[in-house]
Structures are given as C-alpha cells and as structure tokens.
Structure 1
Amino acid sequence: MATHASTQPDWDVTGKEVIERLRDLLRLDTRNPPGNETRAAEYLRDVLQKEGIDCTIVGPAPDRGTLIARLKGDGSEAPLLLMSHTDVVAVEPDKWAHDPFGGEIADGYLYGRGALDMKNMVAMELMSMLLLKRHNVPLKRDVIFMAAADEEAGGHHGAQWVVENYPELIQAEYALNEGGGYGLEINGQRYYTVQAAEKGSSRFRLSASGTPGHGSIPHDDNAILKLSALLLKLQGANTPVHFTDTVRGYIRGIAQAQPPNIAEQFLAVLADEATADVAVERLPVEDTFKKELRSMLRNSVTPTMLHSGSQINVIPSVAYAQLDARTLPHWTPEQFLQELQAIFGTDADIEFLDPSIPLEADLDSPLFQIIKDVLKEHDPEATVIPVLLTGGTDAKHVSRLGTKIYGFSPERYISGSEAWGGIHGHNERIHIDSLQWGARVLYETVTQFVSQ
C-alpha cells in the first residue's frame, strides 16, 4: 500500500536531519550507571515542543527522566506506542578509535556509544513524530513516543516506573520496540527480522550448605564442593526443546527462500522436538547461528556468578551461585522449576530472583503485515521473518498493560564482516545509509498503520 503523497517527506533533507539528531543524542553522556537520562529527555522535549508536539518528562528522580510525547488521533483506533531508551552502557574510551561521545562520522559510519543500542531508534522515532506533525497526517490512532531511562539496568527507573506510576501516559494497543529489524544473510539470501517473542527472565540462586571450620582441617561436608558438584551437572546437559509459534515461523520463513535441499534441512529442525538438536547441528550455517537457534528452542540456564567465604582460612557454611535463566513464551517459573529439578535434583535449594514474563505477539496482526509490506517495497528480494529474542527489553514491563509489542528497529542490510559495529562493544557505530534507510522504513510503517 503506497503512502499518501501528502505524507511523503523530502528524504534527502530528512536523511540529513536524522543524522544530526542522532549526533546530538550521541554527544549526551547517558551511561548507566548513573544514567543522567534527563539530559536526553530535555533535548527531545525542546525539539518536540518547538514543533508543537505535547510532551512531558517523568521519573523517580530529577536525573532519571523518561520523555513521553503524544500526537492525537481521531480516536477511532487504539494508540500505537513507539518505544526506545536513552541510557547506554559503559565504555573504555582508550580502546575506541573515535570519541564515544563525539558523534564523529568516518568512512560512512557514525560512531558513538548508543549508535546501535539504541539512540538510533530514538532518533528515528523522533523523526517519525516530527514528520507526522509537519505533514499533518490524518491519524486514526494516537501516536505515543516514549524515550525511557534505565533499560540497560533493567528498566526499574524507566519503563517499569512509568507502568507503575503513569500507565495512562503510554497505554496502547500495539508498540514498536528494539530487538528486530536488522538484516542478515543466509546462504546468499537476505532476510529482515521482526521480533515477535521475547524470553522471560527466571534468574535464580542455587545454594549449598555445609559445615564450617578451619581451612587447615579439610572435610567432605564443604559447601563449596557441594555447590561445585551441582554446577557440574550442567556440563553437557540440555533442557528439552519446545517449539513456539515464533520459532516455527522463523525456521519456515528461512526455509521458504532457500533452495529445496537446504530448505529441507531447516524444516527437519521442526520435524520432532526430540531430534531438533541433531537437525540444528547439520544445518549449513555458522556456529554462532546454531548457538542462537539452540537457545531459541529451549529454556536456557547459564551460571554467571559465584559467592562464598569471608576469608581464606575459614571453610564457609554456605556457597551459592547465581544463574541467568531465560524461559520461553507461555512458561511460568513453577513449570521451569520442574526442568531445573530434573538437572539438579528435587532437593536442590533454588530461589528465583525477580522473574519476568516471557512474551509472544500475533504473527498475523495488521501491524506485522504492514511491516512486511513496507520492507518488501524497499528490498523486494528479501524475506521478512519473525524472531524470538533470547535476551530482554523494556517490553517485559510495557506488556503488563496488555500491549502487543514487536521489535522493529529497521537497519538496512549491508554486506561484509565489518558492516555493523558491535552493540556494547568498542567502536559502536551505524552506517549512515542504514540510519537513513531505517528512518524512512519506520516512518512509512508507522504512517500506514496509524492512518488506515
């Protein structure tokens, strides 16, 4: 469906503007901790208010501001929420080729902490709001823009705080978020992902108790040794495979665009949950792809932290590990506990730490279809596939309001091993062409959805 002529911006001019908006945002140091996201919120407020768009800044502290703006529709359809976050992770400046807060452009790339995670999406969503206003697009839905604080540290001072204190500001039927939209290539075929599902967090503490004593007199009832024995049960162990609608769509979508012999190999993964791992191992893809796919197929468990003892000559009475566990859509912590007990034993001391709900959105929704249509217009040879995010985003908070959330931060596919700068890595960067392309794709997606 073509966008109405009156809503079409001058993309040469708009492309230059989105670059400058992102450069401005990258120059604001919003490392979390401590955050200081109000710096970005005030910048966004000034830009939006200058063009007559209502907005407000809310948050639990003066320096932890979340910006929320709204364009009013005629109310015939429920709102659309554009989600993003303005905080970024830490940097080691001495390991960067360019100032991580300089917004520098070199060799076609814009460098800076947050260039991909996710001030690029902040800038693109900001441009969508400005263009909708400038071109007087008739809206059937309100369009809400939330640039949240604190996502990198769990969202407790950002999206979660807004959900618990000002839910009416962001209540929406649908939302667009990070987690998808990127291009990839498999066996020479291009794909674009749309995140339709996200694992929940079921992190837990695994504890072992023993008899304390002097370090010079060893004994077998040692809490550290008992904990080590429990953790060793994870070596070579796998939780069972469980197919979800999103992963079925992901694998079938990949297979659809492949030649018959390779398509058959991908579809073999879905033939039986009991043989899925063997089928994944046989796929003609890189090991990194296989690792990610294996995680998409199951509830995952990874030990990440160990704690025990107060001094070197004292045998501690307790030792515990913290494990990063992620659960598939439709799984509860109580159900997941049964899988953990199958590994560690029913007597294992397991305590969940602030679990969050996994998510899965409809693959046949009007918004998902529009995303596919717009991407097809801009890259006709590519295939759009749903994807399950193995990590987490602010969607875990906003979904509590009943919002159907898709991860779609469009990035143009650019071939080559150096095409993308690493998220959370040194020299994080985005290709200028990708940013400009993404801003257009996002705007056209939003416009078609909210003006129908």
Structure 2
Amino acid sequence: MTAAEDEVVELASELIRIDTTNTGDPATVTGEREAAEYVAAKLTEVGYEIEMVESGAPRRDNVVCRLKGSDPNRGALLVHGHLDVVPADPTEWSVHPFSGAVQDGYVWGRGAVDMKDMVAMMIAVARRFKRDGVVPPRDLVFAFLADEEAGGAYGADWLVKNRPDLFEGCTEAVGEVGGFSLTLAEDKRVYLIEAAEKGIAWMRLRARGKPGHGSFLHEDNAVTKVAEAVARLGNHTFPITMTDTLRAFLQQMRELTGLEFPEDDLEGALAKLGPVARMVGATVRDTANPTMLSAGYKANVIPSSAEAVVDCRIIPGREEAFLREVDELIGPDVTREWVTHLPALEMPFDVPLTAAMAAALRTEDPTAATVPYMLSGGTDAKSFADLGMKCYGFAPLRLPPDLDFASLFHGIDERVPIDSLKFGARVLDTFLRSC
C-alpha cells in the first residue's frame, strides 16, 4: 500500500463534501475558495510552496505549485484538475450529492468522476512525493482550477492570459476524461486516452419580426422563424468525419476485438462496444443540439424578436464547413452569434508521454492496452493549448465491467469505485515518476 493509495479515498470524500457548484452565473457560484483553501492546506502541510490566485472575480480561486525535477532542460509537465462541479438536485439522488458518502464499494457525490477523483489522486501523489523526497524526471506543475464547468473564463483561461508565468516551461499537460478502462473480455481491458476534443460553440440564434395582436393574421412572426430554424438544425445529421484520432481508435479496436467498423454503419458497429459507444459515437460527426428558447411576454402579444441557444460541438478542422451548413439550415431571416466559442484540439498519440501512460497502466494491469479517443465535450486543455502545450486526458481508473461510466458524468448518483480510486493513485504515482 502506497501512502498515496492510503489517503486518496478520504481526500475524494472530503473534496466532494465541499459544495463547489458552478451554475455559470458568477453571482451564484459557491465553494471554489473553500476547496482551494482545502487543497492549499494539504499541500503546504507537506512542504510545498503554493500560489493561490483569485482569477478575475471574487472567490474564484486556483492553487498552483511546482515540484522540481532532476532534468531542468526537459519541458515541465502540467497536471491539472478543476475544483468546480455542475449543479445537482438532492431530491433526484439516492444519497445526498454533497455527502461524499463512502459505501457499497464507492465514493458517492457530485464530482466523484468529474473530477474530484482525479484531484484527490493529484493531491495524494503530490503529498507522497514531497514527504518521501521523490525527485521526478522533470518539473511537475500541479494546478487546481476554478470555473472549468463554465468554460474557464474565471479559471484556466484567465490564468493563461494573466499569469502564464505559473506554467513557465510546461510543454505537455495531463488532465481529465482519459485513462479509464473498457473491458473487452475477462482478462482483457483497453484504456482510452483522450488525445482530442471537439470544439465547443454555444450559438445564439435570433430573429426579428413585426409585433402585434395575437388574434391577427401575421406573416412576419419572429417566433415562427426561430422555431423553424431550430427544428431544421436540431433534426439535421452532419456527415461522418474521420479524424486521425478516430482512425487510430477504430484500427486499434479492430485489432483488439476483431470487430469491423464500416463507415456506412459506423454508429451501429460502435454500439457493440457497450455504453462507451455514447462517448465515442458523439465524436464521429458534428452536433448541434437546441437547448434554450426565449420569446414574448404575454400570450396574446406577438413579440418583435425571438431567440434560441444551440449547443454546437465541432470536430477538429470542420468549423468552416460546419458554419456553411448551419447558415443553409437557419436561412437568411435568422442571425447567429457565439455565446461561447472554444476551439477543437487534436494531439499526436504516438509520443513518449502516452507510452509512459501505457507502461504505468501495465504495472497494475498487465493486460492493459491503450487507444486514443476524442472527447465530445471540452476541458481546460483548450486554454493550456494556447501556451503551446500538448494536452492529453489521463485520470486512470480500472472500472468494473458492468459500470456505465459515461452516464455518471453530470448524472444522478455520480460515484467512483473505491478500488478504481486506489488503482488510479498507484498508476498516477508510477506515471509521474517515469514520464
């Protein structure tokens, strides 16, 4: 039992008990400072010199520290995790979402997989290294961040723009949503490493028309214009796009499973992989999902304007073609503008860093194979890539074969297996000693 493994469950539970709900509205965000103070205390207790930075708004705090490595000529590695979580309704859960309950072989609560599990691993390994005098092969920068769940404007993005000195020398980064297992057979598991992310583009559609009485005939109705545009966009299927990451994933899965993935039935073939198909299937084409509608102020008044918000996720290299399709679908009477616009990312996979991930996994799971995949969402990697870092998702977890891991992200009864947490702490410890 390593020291990191010994305390990672307690750390995860205590972090979950700090309600760090991020609604996206700065006026209602809670708990990020308390979580940052908790992290800072755990790190200073073992001797780290930490920097706690408020990022652009009151109580939006981040904690950064550096552990010197043996080779100052090598680029540093950034290990980053976010402290905020999405909202949770306690009435929908079987345990309170901020209880941090440790029961039935799991740690339960909002953030258990997104991503206080990884944050707990980071703290546990960082503490172990400092206590035991471990000198990694290169500098390690640990960053615990605010506001990831709302795009990082008060977290990673702010730090990159205003405090890039905190990440001086960092050439690579590892963060969330990668390194988790998919069981192919009783003694055969594959671990998905995030090597790409779709772009995030929340788009506002707006139409104007002639206002008037609801009982009259109207041919220039703003609500109708937006509704028709939203329906066309929401019902549209964008073309399959074979990125380098998707090709590599499919090729390696063919070799591991013997399955074929024909392009004319790609999503059907992916479904044979089980619940993880939802994560991978969302990355084979662009998506545009309407999420919000707004118009009018009284039932019998036709308003002069109407709006909708659409959550668009765009494959690397597809933005221009995507926007052309969007413009054709919404038509000339509806305008569009970005609410949030974060770029897509795609990184090379056959590099020494991912080889070190694979080697670390095999120390705990000799059958482990690794494959790259693209994340349909986004992470703070989008900000750190602006500093030239190559960014990957690696929060290692060996999962039970029957656990629907994808459904736990932002889901009800979010939880992480205790054994998986301990496995992750051991793997992260090995990885950071050798990368």
Would you call these one fold, judging by a TM-score over 0.5? yes
Is residue 2:61 matched to residue 1:65? yes
Distance 1:297 1:56, change over 3 A: same
Distance 1:282 1:40, change over 3 A: closer
Contact 1:421–1:429 (Cα < 8 Å) also in 2: no
Per the TM alignment, residue 90 of structure 1 is displaced from its structure 2 partner at its CA by 1.9
Query: Match for 2:21: what amino acid?
Result: R
Query: Match for 2:252: what amino acid?
Result: G
Give distance in 2, aligned partners of 1:282 and 1:139: 42
Contact 2:295–2:303 (Cα < 8 Å) also in 1: yes
Give distance in 1, aligned partners of 2:360 and 2:338: 42
Percentage of identical aligned residues: 38
Contact 1:421–1:430 (Cα < 8 Å) also in 2: no
Contact 1:420–1:431 (Cα < 8 Å) also in 2: no
Contact 2:197–2:377 (Cα < 8 Å) also in 1: yes
Distance 1:57 1:88, change over 3 A: same
Q: Which runs of 4+ in 1 moved over 6 A?
A: 418-421
The secondary structure found in structure 1 opposite 2:42 is helix
Give distance in 2, aligned partners of 1:350 and 1:98: 42
1:27 aligned residue (17, 21, 25): 17
Contact 1:76–1:140 (Cα < 8 Å) also in 2: no
Give distance in 2, aligned partners of 1:283 and 1:148: 34
1:148 aligned residue (140, 145, 148): 145
Deviation per residue, 1:89-108 (Å, 9 max, x gap) = 22222333333333321121
State the TM-score, normalizing by the size of structure 2. 0.91
Contact 1:420–1:430 (Cα < 8 Å) also in 2: no
Distance 1:94 1:348, change over 3 A: closer
Contact 1:159–1:394 (Cα < 8 Å) also in 2: yes
Give distance in 2, aligned partners of 1:23 and 1:416: 23
Is residue 2:45 matched to residue 1:46? no
Contact 1:54–1:71 (Cα < 8 Å) also in 2: no
The secondary structure found in structure 2 opposite 1:203 is strand
Deviation per residue, 1:151-203 (Å, 9 max, x gap) = 11221111111111111102411111002111123577522110000011122
Is residue 2:82 matched to residue 1:85? yes
Per the TM alignment, residue 377 of structure 1 is displaced from its structure 2 partner at its CA by 2.9
2:26 alignment counterpart: none
Give distance in 2, aligned partners of 1:288 and 1:107: 22
1:101 aligned residue (94, 98, 101): 98
State the TM-score, normalizing by the size of structure 1. 0.88
Is residue 2:336 matched to residue 1:325? no
Query: Match for 1:138: what amino acid?
Result: V
Distance 1:90 1:374, change over 3 A: same
Per the TM alignment, residue 357 of structure 1 is displaced from its structure 2 partner at its CA by 1.1
The secondary structure found in structure 2 opposite 1:441 is helix
Per the TM alignment, residue 420 of structure 1 is displaced from its structure 2 partner at its CA by 8.5
Give distance in 2, aligned partners of 1:190 and 1:443: 20
Distance 1:286 1:224, change over 3 A: farther
1:303 alignment counterpart: 290
Is residue 2:363 matched to residue 1:366? no
1:336-347 alignment runs, 5 A limit:
336-345=322-331
1:178 alignment counterpart: 176
1:232 alignment counterpart: 231
Distance 1:392 1:282, change over 3 A: closer
Give distance in 2, aligned partners of 1:356 and 1:421: 24
Give distance in 2, aligned partners of 1:175 and 1:75: 17
Distance 1:224 1:95, change over 3 A: closer
Which segment is superposed worse, 370-379 or 230-239? 230-239
1:192 alignment counterpart: 191
Give distance in 1, aligned partners of 2:413 and 2:405: 12
Per the TM alignment, residue 404 of structure 1 is displaced from its structure 2 partner at its CA by 0.8
Is residue 2:111 matched to residue 1:110? no
1:14 alignment counterpart: 4
Per the TM alignment, residue 23 of structure 1 is displaced from its structure 2 partner at its CA by 2.2
Structure 2 unpaired stretches of 5+: 24-28
RMSD: 2.3
Query: Match for 1:314: what amino acid?
Result: V
Per the TM alignment, residue 26 of structure 1 is displaced from its structure 2 partner at its CA by 2.0
Give distance in 2, aligned partners of 1:292 and 1:124: 23
Give distance in 2, aligned partners of 1:317 and 1:86: 42
2:414 aligned residue (395, 412, 428): 428
Contact 1:419–1:431 (Cα < 8 Å) also in 2: no
Per the TM alignment, residue 76 of structure 1 is displaced from its structure 2 partner at its CA by 1.7
Contact 2:68–2:140 (Cα < 8 Å) also in 1: yes
Give distance in 2, aligned partners of 1:159 and 1:137: 27
Per the TM alignment, residue 435 of structure 1 is displaced from its structure 2 partner at its CA by 0.3
Give distance in 2, aligned partners of 1:441 and 1:178: 14
The secondary structure found in structure 1 opposite 2:337 is strand
Is residue 2:251 matched to residue 1:255? no
Deviation per residue, 1:231-260 (Å, 9 max, x gap) = 23236421222211111111112111113x
Distance 1:338 1:165, change over 3 A: same
Contact 2:225–2:333 (Cα < 8 Å) also in 1: no
